[in-house]
Amino acid sequence: MAEEVLTDRVKEEISALAPLDIIVGIPSYNNAATIGSVVTSAQAGLLESFPDRKALIVNSDGGSKDGTVEAFKHACRDGHSLTIEHPVYPVHHLTTPYHGLPARGNAFRTLFRIAELAGARALLVVDAGFHGVAPGWFNPFLDAILNKEFDYAVPLYRRHKYDGALTNCIVYPLMRALYGRRIRQPIGGEVGISGRLARHLLTRNIWNTDVARYAIDIWMATAAVAENYKVCQVRMGAKSRDLRDQSSDLSTILVQVVGSVFGLMETYDSIWRNVLGSLPTPLMGDPCEAPMDPVSVNIPRLHASFQQGVRDLRPIYEIVFTREQLSELEAHASQPLDRFSLPEELWVGLIYEAALAHHRRAMDREHLLKSLAPLYLGWVASFARQTENEDSSKADERIEKLCLAYEQLKTYLINQWPLA
């Protein structure tokens, strides 16, 4: 029997409200400054666009110490001041703690269980630290789930050409090549999920693993695509980034994010080994022109870190990469900055060899993943140098070229991947 994550009191409250059409989940951890505006926008959005749908707003809090829960309750208390024309159902509210580590995965597990118990048709999860979320933001996500019968809806934000570099050079193109679907921002944060997919994901045995702790978004997107659920993207404006917590260093992020993508390759290898090429993912919502947060890149510093890493980590790279790749890597590391450029084929080959080494356990997996940090910095330096005088559309063309290299070289990965 699956572990119960809800208290009897919470289950009684949900049962009294059931059945529900919509649940808006707001995971939080020390978001007192922003959660009130998220709640207010959620209430307005639901009552404006879905007045005939019965909705529940849930704050799944990870043990906040700054008054986040109180701020949520206060915003809900003031919700009656919003003037909406003839709503059929009120918007209910509920706060429930999720137990264990204050991680995003625990919040999703709680929300999935609430959706299951309430018989909800749609679950929309919104970050409590989302700055500037407007009421109209909720409509396209919920419309995709409720009316167009998609199971998984991810945002497509307008982003600066240097924002989301890890997604641009590894996560997006690798997942696209593996599973054959073009999901531009698979770890965009906000997500819409159908009730049937939420119930399915709840049954999976991942909730006490590092996948749930560090990479719940990657796992959900991978599972939805690999297991043939209907997926779409929702066009959004620019998202203001919450820069409060930048404590995780690059090597730790690589272990968590890239390590999770590599690990899921083992889970779904019987699927991705039979996929070649990629298909577009349907787009919902209208294009939105909005100013983007500026992102600065110190190209000389990144280039120097790449050069130093290639020198210092050569013993590791000799284990992971082919002799030809290492020779080419060192040749590019010797280039002066004004001529520095990493070819797409070399970069993709390095990532595929790293995935193979991870699968074979050629060395300690954490050490392997951390050793990718200077190579990643090198790729960012190369991309930034090439695009510093180009607009976003030209930068996107370069990312598309990289994606095609991942797809074209995938047969090598398939041929080298050990069969179970």
Q: Which two tokens stand for residue 99?
A: 């137990």
**pLDDT tens for each residue of 229-255:** 999 999 887 765 544 444 458 988 999
Q: Which residue has the higher pLDDT, 328 or 76?
A: 328
Q: Do the Cβ atoms of 23 and 60 come closer than 8 Å?
A: no
CA 177 to CA 212: how far, in whole Å? 23
Region 371-391 average pLDDT: 94
Place of tokens 């990493």: 342
Give pLDDT, residue 240. 58
Mean pLDDT, the chain, whole residue set = 87
Region 331-356 average pLDDT: 96
Give pLDDT, residue 87. 34
Kindly state the percentage of the chain with pLDDT values over 90: 58
Model pTM above 0.95:
no
**pLDDT tens for each residue of 109-149:** 889 999 999 999 999 999 888 777 777 888 999 999 999 99
Which distant-in-sequence residues (6+ apart) come within 8 Å of 300 by Cβ? 337
CA 54 to CA 213: how far, in whole Å? 31
Minimum mean pLDDT range among 56-70, 81-95, 118-132, 322-336: 81-95
Q: Which two tokens stand for residue 312?
A: 């210092």
Taking CA atoms, 112 is separated from 64, 193, 290, in Å, by 21, 9, 33
355: nearest Cα among 261, 252, 253: 261
Burial class (CB in 10 A: 0-12, 13-18, 19+), 92: middle
Q: Do the Cβ atoms of 72 and 36 come closer than 8 Å?
A: yes
The pair phi, psi for residue 419, each rounded to 5°, is -75, 145
Region 275-279 average pLDDT: 96
Strand order across the beta sheet in which 91-97 lies:
91-97, 55-61, 22-28, 122-125, 191-194, 152-158, 231-238, 283-284
**pLDDT tens for each residue of 140-196:** 999 999 999 999 999 998 888 888 899 999 999 999 999 999 999 998 778 999 999
Give pLDDT, residue 82. 25
Query: What type of residue sits at position 100?
Result: G
Q: State the pLDDT confidence band at 89, using cuts at 50, 70 and 90.
A: low
**pLDDT tens for each residue of 48-66:** 899 899 999 998 887 788 8
Q: What is the chain's length? A: 420
57 beta partners: 24, 93
Residue ranges of domains in the chain, CATH in brackets: 8-284 (3.90.550.10), 299-416 (no CATH)
